[in-house]
Amino acid sequence: MSPRRRKIDWEKFGSDIVSRVIEGLDYWCWNVSGDPVVDCYESHMDLSLYDLASEFSNWSITGIGDKDLELLSKMPDDIYDKFDNEIKEYIESVVKELAKYREEEEEESYLE
Distance (Å, rounded) from C-alpha 42 to C-alpha 39? 5
What residue segments make up the domains of the chain, in order of their start? 10-111
CA–CA distance, 74 with 13 (Å, rounded to integer)? 12
Q: Per residue of the chain (112 residues), give pLDDT as tens.
A: 445 567 899 999 999 999 999 999 999 999 999 999 999 999 999 999 999 999 999 998 899 999 999 999 999 999 999 999 999 999 999 999 998 877 666 555 555 5
Q: Can you give the length of the chain in residues?
A: 112
Q: What's at 54, amino acid-wise?
A: S
